[in-house]
Amino acid sequence: MRNWFKAKRPQLGLTGLVLGALLLLIVMTLSTIPVAAAPQSQDEPPTDETCLACHQQEGMTAQIGGQPLPITIDPEKFSTSVHGTEEVACVDCHTNITGFPHPEVTASSPRDFSLELYPTCQECHLEQYEKTLDSVHQRALAAGNNNAAVCTDCHNPHTQTRLTDKTTGELLLGARLVVPQTCAKCHSTIYETYRQSVHGAALTEEGNQYVPTCIDCHGVHDIGDPTSNSFRNSTPYLCANCHTNETLMKQFGISTNVLNTYVADFHGTTVKMFEENYPDQPTNKPVCTDCHGVHDIMRPDNPEAGIAFKKNLLVKCQQCHPDATTASFTDSWMSHYEPSPQVFPLVFFVNLFYKIFIPAVLGGMILFVLTDVYRRFIMRRAPAKGESHE
C-alpha cells in the first residue's frame, strides 16, 4: 500500500531559495542600471546587510525582457523566514553576486530568471529537489510549460517560514493551513471547489488540521499525475489511509468500515483484484471518487446532493448504468453498511443461514465419513475377535 499520508515532509530548504532570490533581485536591479562598470574583485562576499541596504527599499523592480521583477526584500520578513533564522546569506543562493554592479542578467523574462535560479535550491534541499524531478510539474516544465511550478513558486525563499519540525521532519501545526492557499496560486478553481468540500470547509473555516489538504492526496514534492490510471486505481487505499484510522475517525464519528465494505462489494472486489494485477490499466469500475467526488467531496447526508439519498445516489449509478431507473437499484449497493438485523436484514440472515448451514452439513458429512473410515480401515485391520466384517 502506498504510504501517502506519511509522504515525508521536506526539510524545506528555503535558505537556499531565499538567498537565491535575493541574489537574483540584486543582479537584476543592478544589471538594468547602466553603471560605469569598473570591475574589481572584492575579497569579501557582500553581507546581507549590504544587499539589504539597497533591496529593502520599497517598490524596487528590475526590468527583465521588458517585464518588471520586484526586487524589494522585506528585511523583517526575511529575518523571520526559515532562511533568515537559519542565517542563510543572500549570496548563498545568489552565488553569482559578488558586488556591485551585479553581473548582466541573461534571462529573457522574470519567469525565465526564476527558472534559471531555482536549481540552486538543491544545494541544500537535494532530497526534495530530486523528488520534484518525478513530479507532474517537472514533467510539464520539461514539456515546455513555463508556468509549471518550481520550488520558489510554492516556497518564496525570502519569506517562507519553517514548515516542518527541525528534528522530526513532521509538518508543524499550522503548516497545513497554508497548503491549499499555496496550491491555489496556480489552481484557484480547484481550491474554490475544495474550499466548499467537507474537507476544505473544515480546514479553511474551522481550522481543523485533521482533514486532508492537497498534499495528503497528491503528495508533496513528487506530486504525481492525478489523471493516471495507477492513481485512480489506488484511490481506495489513499482514502483509507485516513478513513480506516480509528483514532482519526473517532473525532468525526465516522465509520472505519469503508474500505472493507467496499472491497467486499462487487465493485470493490473488482478494483481490488484489478489493482493488484494491473495497477496501470484502466478499469471502469468505480472507486471512491466516482461516487463521492474528488475536490468537491461532501457529506453523504448533505440535503442537496448527499449520496445517502437514493435519488442522488441513483444519479451516480447512472454514470455507469444508464439503464438503472429504479431507486431500488441503489440498494443493491449496501452503502458501506455491514449487514445487520436492522440494516440489510435479508443479507444478514442469508449470511447467518450459511454460517450455520455450512458447518452443519459439512460436519454431518465429516462425521459419517469418519465412521466409515473407522469401520473400513481401522476395524478391518484390528484382529477381529473371530468375527468377519465382510
Partner 1 sequence: MSTPATRTYERFPLARRIEHWTMMLSFTILAITGLPQKFPASELSIAFVYILGGIENLRMIHHFAAIVMMLGTAWHLLVFGYLGYVRRTRLSMLPNLQDMKDGWQALLYNIGRAKTPPQMGRYTFEEKMEYWAFVWGAIIMGLTGFMMWNPLTTTRLLPGEAIPAAKAAHGGEALLAVLAIIIWHMYGVHIKRFNKSMFTGRISEQEMLHEHPLELADVKAGIAERPVDTVALRKRQRIYLPVATVLALFMLLGIYGFVSAEETALTTVERQAPTVVVFVPWTATPAPTQTPTSPPTETALPTATPNATQLAAGSSTPGVASALTWDNSIGAMFQAKCASCHGAGALGGLNLSTHSDAMQGGASGPVIIAGDGANSLLVTRQKAGNHPGQLTPEEIAQVIEWIDAGALEK
Site for partner 1 in 324-383 (CB under 8 A): 324, 326, 328-334, 339, 344, 346-347, 350-351, 353-354, 357-358, 361-362, 365-366, 368-369, 371-376, 379
Under the binding rule (CB under 8 A), the answer on residue 53 touching partner 1 is yes
Q: Which helix (H) or strand (E) holds 62?
A: strand 61-64
How far apart CA 184 and CA 193 sit, in angstroms, is: 11
Taking Cα atoms as reference points, which of 75, 95, 85 lies closest to residue 24? Answer: 95
Q: According to CB under 8 A, which residues from 194 to 223 bind partner 1?
A: none
- Return phi, psi of residue 69, to 5°: -120, 120
The single residue among 7, 12, 27, 60 that binds partner 1, judged by CB under 8 A, is 60
126/367 with CB nearer partner 1: 367
Least CB distance to partner 1 at residue 322 (A):
6
Under the binding rule (CB under 8 A), the answer on residue 132 touching partner 1 is no
Q: According to CB under 8 A, which residues from 92 to 111 bind partner 1?
A: 99-101, 110-111
Q: According to CB under 8 A, which residues from 233 to 272 bind partner 1?
A: 263, 265-266, 268-270, 272
DSSP-derived 3-state class of residue 130: helix
- Pairs from 161-164 (Cβ < 8 Å, separation ≥ 24): 161/80, 161/81, 161/82, 162/12, 162/82, 162/85, 163/9, 163/10, 163/12, 163/82, 164/9, 164/10, 164/11, 164/12
Q: According to CB under 8 A, which residues from 156 to 185 bind partner 1?
A: 156, 184-185
222/265 with CB nearer partner 1: 265
List the grid coordinates of 374: 473407522
DSSP-derived 3-state class of residue 68: strand
Preceding amide of 101 cis, omega within 30: yes
Under the binding rule (CB under 8 A), the answer on residue 273 touching partner 1 is yes
60/215 with CB nearer partner 1: 60
Piece in contact with partner 1 (CB under 8 A), picked from 123-131, 163-171, 235-243, 318-326? 318-326
**CA 176 and chain centroid, separation:** 12
Least CB distance to partner 1 at residue 197 (A):
13
